[in-house]
A and B are shown apart, each in its own frame.
Chain A
Amino acid sequence: MKQHILPAVRLTLVTLVFFSGIYTIIIFGIAQITPFKGRGEVIEAGGQKYYANIGQKFTEDKYFSSRPSAVDYNAAGSGGSNKGPSNAEYLAVVQARIDTFLVHNAGIKKTQIPVELVTASGSGLDPDISPKAALVQVERIAKMRNLPAGKVGDLVESNIQGPLLGLFGPSKINVLKLNIALDQLK
C-alpha cells in the first residue's frame, strides 16, 4: 500500500484539475454558443423575466391553477411531499383539495377532476398540467374574466404541446405560457 500513496495523491490532483476544471470549462464554453447560453429557457412578458421550465404558484381564480406543490413552488428548495399512498393524513389533504376545487369551480362534477390536479409533483416546480386539467378550469376562467367559454377553450387547445414527434410521451400544457396568453386575450 505504501508505494501507492504518492502516485495516488498525484494522480488525484491531476485528474481533479481535469474532470472538475477542464471538463467544466469545456461545457461552459459550449454553453455560450447554444441558444440559451446556459441560462435556462427564459420568457419575457409584461416587462418581467420568467423561467419557462420553473413552474409558478397560480392560486388566484382568474388564472389557470398549477399543480399543488409540497414546497410551495420554492425554486431554491425543490422537493415532493414523499407521502405514501396509504397515509391517512395525506389522503385527507387530497380530499380537502378536491373540496376546495369544487367550491371554486361551481358546476363541475367530481368525476371531471383529474387526479394530477390534486396531487403534488416530484419537484414541487412542475411547470405543466395535463390538457384535461386545463379544460376542467375553462368555465371558471371564462366566468371570472367575462369571456366566452369557447374562446378560453380555444386558447387551451392552442397551447397543448403534443407528444414528442407525435409519437413519444404525454401531452401537456405549460401553465405559465397559458396564463401569459390568457392575460393578453381580449
Chain B
Amino acid sequence: MNTEILGIVFVFATTIALAIPFGKYIAKIYAGERTLLDLILGPVEKLFYKLSGIRVQSEMNWKQHLSALLTINMVWFFLGMFVLMNQGWLPLNPDGNPSQSAELAFNTTISFVVNCNLQHYSGETGVSYLGQLFLMFLQFVSAGTGMAAAAVVIIAFRERSADKLGNFYELMIKSCTRILLPVSLVVAVILLLNGVPMTFEGKDSFVSMQGDTVQVSTGPVAAFVPIKHVGTNGGGFFGANSAHPFENPNYVTNMVEMFAQMFIPIAMVFALGFYLKKRKLSWVIFGVMTIGFLLLVVPTVFSELKGNPAIAEMGIDVSSGATEGKEIRFGTAFSAFWSIATTVISTGSINAMHDSFMPMSGLAQMLAMMTNAFYGGVGAGILNFYIFIILAVFMSGLMVGRTPELMGKKIEAREMKIAMIVALLHPLLILAATALGTTLPQYTAGTLNNPGFHGFSEMLYEYTSSSANNGSGFEGLGDNTPWWNISCGIVLILSRFLPIIGPVAIAGILASKKHIPESAGTLKTDTGTFGIMIFAVIAIITALSFFPALTLGPIAEYFSMK
C-alpha cells in the first residue's frame, strides 16, 4: 500500500478509535454526571449563568427549547450584522479592511449563525481581525446550538416526562465549554507547534529571492482554525481555507485538522448509544453512515488518482493524478478523501479546490451534501439521521403490517407529516433555487467561472452547499453579488432552522406519548436489517430527488470528456 493511502487509513482508523471513548464522555456531559473538568469549568459556567440571570435548574419542554434557541440565534444575527457592517472603523483592523456591504454582511452573518460558513468574501481582504474573532465566537456557539438540539432529541428518547428535557442554555453552554473548547485547545497547540501564525500585527512583507515585494496576510489563525474544524464550521481564515500554508502548513496539521472535523460527529453517534444504554443502535447507525461514506470516498479517490484524461492526451506524465487546485504536501489521494469527509460532515473546509475536481468527484461531493446524514455536522448529523430513522420505522411498519413504533413510542400521522416536510425541504430548496438561478441568467450567467455543464454544476453546488449548511463551494463562482448573497442567505435560514425544529418537535411529541413495553411484535431498531432499511430510505430519497439535476451537471460533463 502506498504512503498516501496509508495516511488516509491511519487518520480514519484513529478517529474512530478515539471517538468511541469520547462518545462516552459526551453522554456523561449531557446526563449531568461528574467529570474531571468540573473542577475548572464548573465555576466558569456558573459565572456565565449568574451574569446572564439564567436558572439552569428549570427544565424545558420542546417548545421552550425551540423558543430559547431561536431567540438567542436572532440576537447573534443582529450583533453579527452590526460588527461586520462597522468593522472598518472598529478596533483590531491593522490591514485597514473595509466594512461589509449590507447584503454581504447578511449572507456572512446568517452563514456563520447557521453553522454553514459559506463565504462570499476572502478572509485576507473581507474581514478585520475583530470580524474574524466575532465569527470565531459564532463558530463556537452555532456548533453548540446544533449539539444542544441533538441532545434534546437524545434526552427525549429516554425521558418519560415531556416537560423535563433539560435546559437549553445549559446544554448549549456545556457543548461549548466541555466538548468544543478542550478539543480546540489541544488542536491549537499542535497547530502552533507546526508554524501556524497567532499574531495581531497585520500584514508582513518581504522581498522574494527573485526581487518581488510580497505582502503576507497573517493574523490570529491558530485560534480560528481549530474551532473551524472541531465545530464542523469550515469557514476559512484566508480565502484558500485549509489549502493555505498558514492554515494548514504540513502533513501533521493536515491529519490533525481532518481528525478534528470527523471526531465529534462520530462521537455523537456513540454518545447516543451510551446515553440510552443501547450501544447496538449506535453501531447500526454508525455502520449505515460508514458504508455511505465509503461508497462516496472510494470512487472519488480513484477518479482523482486517475487524473484528467484531457491533460493525459497532451502526452505528459499524469501519474500524480488530477493536481489542479491541489497542494503537493497533502497529495492527491488525501485531498480527495478530505473533499468527501468535509462534504459528508457539513464542515465545508477545503484543502483543495473542489471546482477543479473531476466530474465524478464533484458528483460524489454533491451527493454527500444532498444526503447530509453520513456522520453529518456536530449535532445536525444526528438530527438529519433521526428524520431518516422515523421514515424507515414508518415504512417498515407498513411493510410488515404493524403499527410503527420507535423505542416504545407510536409514530403517528402528525410526526410523519413533520418528518416528511423536513425530508422534502432539502431537495425542494436546492432544486427550486437552482432552477430559479438557471431561468434568470441575467443574475447568474456572468458569475460563472466555467462554461457548459460545469457552469451549471457551480450553481447546483452553491445551493446544495447552502441547503446542507456545508459552506464549501465550487469557488470559481463570483458569488459576492446581491443575487447570490440574498438567495443563498434565504436558503441558509430555512435549511438550518426547519431541520432543527422538526426533529425536536417530533422528539418532544413522542416523549409525551404513552410508553408501550417491548413485545415479540415490536420492530427492532438495532438490527442489521433495520440498518439496511434506513440505507434504502436514504438512497431512494436522494437518488430520486437529485438524479435529474445531477445528470445536467457532473454526469453530462463526465460523458462529454470521453
Contact = CB atoms under 8 A, between A and B. Distances in A.
A53 to B, nearest CB: 4
Contacts of B54: 7, 11
A83 B448 CA distance: 10
A79 B249 CA distance: 15
Interface residues on B, range: 35 or more
Interface string B239-266: 1100111100111101100000000000
B51 A10 contact: yes
Contacts of B214: 54, 56, 73-75
Interface in B165-221: 169, 173, 176, 181, 184-185, 188-189, 192-193, 195-200, 203, 206-210, 212, 214-218, 220
A48 interface: yes
Which interface residue of B48, B209, B244 has the most chain A CB atoms within 10 A? B209
A129 interface: yes
Contacts of A1: 67, 70-71
Contacts of A110: 314-316
A127 B326 CA distance: 12
B75 interface: yes
A14 B141 CA distance: 12
B328 A38 contact: no
B327 interface: yes
A122 B352 contact: yes
Given A14-B52, A34-B193, A40-B195, A84 B239 contact: no
B202 to A, nearest CB: 11
B249 A18 contact: no
A152 to B, nearest CB: 17
B397 interface: no
A16 B51 CA distance: 13
B233 to A, nearest CB: 13
Interface stretch (B2-10, B24-32, B284-292): B2-10
Contact of A58 (B209, B321, B453): B209
A17 B144 CA distance: 16
A137 interface: no
Given A10-B53, A19-B137, A82-B325, A111 B317 contact: yes
B311 interface: yes
A45 to B, nearest CB: 8
Q: Which of B44, B79, B240 has the most CB of A within 10 A?
A: B240
Contacts of B208: 50, 56-57, 73
B137 A15 contact: yes
B148 interface: no
A67 B328 contact: yes
Interface string A1-25: 1001111111110111011110110
A144 interface: no
Contacts of A164: 7, 251-252, 255
Contact of B199 (A9, A39, A85, A120): A39
B149 to A, nearest CB: 15
B526 interface: no
Contacts of A82: 325, 353, 355-356, 449-450, 474-476
Interface string B298-324: 000000000110110011111111111
Contact of A57 (B7, B197, B206, B210): B210
Contact of B561 (A9, A30, A85): A85
Given A15-B141, A87-B451, A80 B557 contact: no
Nearest to A176: B209
Contacts of B206: 48-51
Contacts of A54: 214, 216, 245-246
B238 interface: yes
A123 B136 contact: no
B216 A168 contact: no
Contact of B323 (A20, A26, A116): A116
B323 A115 contact: yes
Interface string A118-130: 1111111111111
Contacts of B488: none
B496 interface: no
B317 A114 contact: yes
A98 B71 CA distance: 58
A123 B245 contact: yes
Contacts of B311: 91, 94, 115, 119
B140 interface: yes
Interface in A71-113: 73-91, 94-95, 98, 110-113
Contacts of A14: 47-48, 51-52
Given A36-B195, A115-B320, A126 B328 contact: yes
A116 B328 contact: yes
Contacts of B133: 20-21, 24
Given A169-B334, A180-B209, A130 B188 contact: no
A8 B74 CA distance: 9
A80 B238 contact: no
A23 B188 CA distance: 11
Given A38-B199, A39-B199, A115-B311, A79 B122 contact: yes
B91 interface: no
Contact of A168 (B7, B207, B451): B7
Given A167-B6, A170-B4, A20 B136 contact: yes
Contacts of A15: 48, 137, 140-141, 173, 176
Nearest to B351: A122
Given A48-B206, A76-B216, A123-B327, A84 B10 contact: no
Given A8-B75, A19-B140, A121-B243, A83 B317 contact: no
Which 6 residue pairs across A and B have the least CB separation, nearest first?
Answer: A82-B476, A38-B198, A122-B243, A84-B454, A168-B7, A78-B240
Given A34-B193, A78-B122, A123-B327, 6 more contacts: A4-B72, A27-B223, A35-B193, A53-B245, A56-B209, A83-B450
22 contacts: A4-B72, A8-B74, A9-B75, A10-B52, A16-B137, A24-B223, A31-B199, A36-B192, A39-B199, A40-B249, A53-B250, A76-B216, A78-B122, A79-B475, A82-B449, A85-B308, A90-B450, A115-B307, A163-B251, A167-B7, A168-B7, A172-B328
